[in-house]
């Protein structure tokens, strides 16, 4: 079983990399429906990040964050992959792939964390729901 601090750091990193991906995509021209969906997801991820920090502070933990270099590389990768006349479907496709990978990792963490009533487990579930909604929204745009 993984410790709560390790899982909470994983939640934080997932939210942070998701924010980096979305911020990068939002620099591009896209349909308003896609932009609104991404902005909504960005707000959800920011709320999850904020709650992860609050839980860590309450428990006296210091969380491991994503490396700023990884944020920069993520931005560059998104920008290069999406350069086209029709970025909407490319953005949706890339994000579906990333959300799917995130979901696999979140499910592993859910199975490795036994304290089902703990605020960390509840936050894991919220992030999982957020990723599933993200996939559903992006699939409509493919």
Give yes or no for residue 95 having a pLDDT over 60. yes
The size of the chain, in residues, is 142
**Interatomic CA distance for residues 21 and 74, integer angstroms:** 6
Question: Tens digit of pLDDT for each residue in 69-94?
Answer: 877 777 777 777 777 667 888 888 88
How many domains are there within the chain? 1
The model carries a pTM of: 0.89
Containing domain of residue 26, as a range? 4-139
**b/e per residue, 38-47, with b = 16+ CB within 10 A?**
beebbebbee
**Interatomic CA distance for residues 58 and 96, integer angstroms:** 34
Question: Tens digit of pLDDT for each residue in 106-121?
Answer: 999 988 887 878 999 9
Instruction: Tell me which residue has tokens 């479907």.
Output: 89
User: Residue 115: what pLDDT?
Assistant: 82
Give yes or no for residue 56 having a pLDDT over 60. yes
Token pair of 50 as six digits: 């904020």
Give yes or no for residue 10 having a pLDDT over 90. yes
Token pair of 30 as six digits: 């896209």
With beta carbons less than 8 A apart as the criterion, state whether 41 and 134 touch. Answer: yes
Provide the CATH number for the domain around residue 88.
Answer: 1.20.1260.10
With beta carbons less than 8 A apart as the criterion, state whether 74 and 17 touch. Answer: yes
Token pair of 75 as six digits: 């931005």
């Amino acid at each position: 079983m993984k410790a709560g601090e390790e899982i909470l750091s994983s939640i934080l990193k997932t939210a942070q990399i998701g924010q980096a991906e979305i911020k990068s995509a939002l620099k591009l021209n896209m349909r308003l429906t896609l932009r609104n969906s991404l902005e909504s997801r960005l707000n959800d991820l920011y709320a999850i990040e904020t709650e992860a920090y609050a839980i860590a502070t309450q428990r006296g933990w210091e969380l491991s964050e994503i490396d700023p270099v990884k944020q920069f590389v993520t931005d560059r990768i998104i920008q290069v992959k999406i350069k086209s006349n029709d970025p909407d479907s490319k953005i949706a496709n890339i994000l579906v792939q990333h959300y799917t990978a995130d979901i696999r990792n979140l499910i592993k963490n859910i199975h490795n964390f036994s304290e089902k009533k703990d605020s960390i487990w509840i936050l894991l579930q919220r992030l999982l729901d957020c990723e599933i909604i993200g996939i559903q929204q992006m699939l409509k745009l493919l």
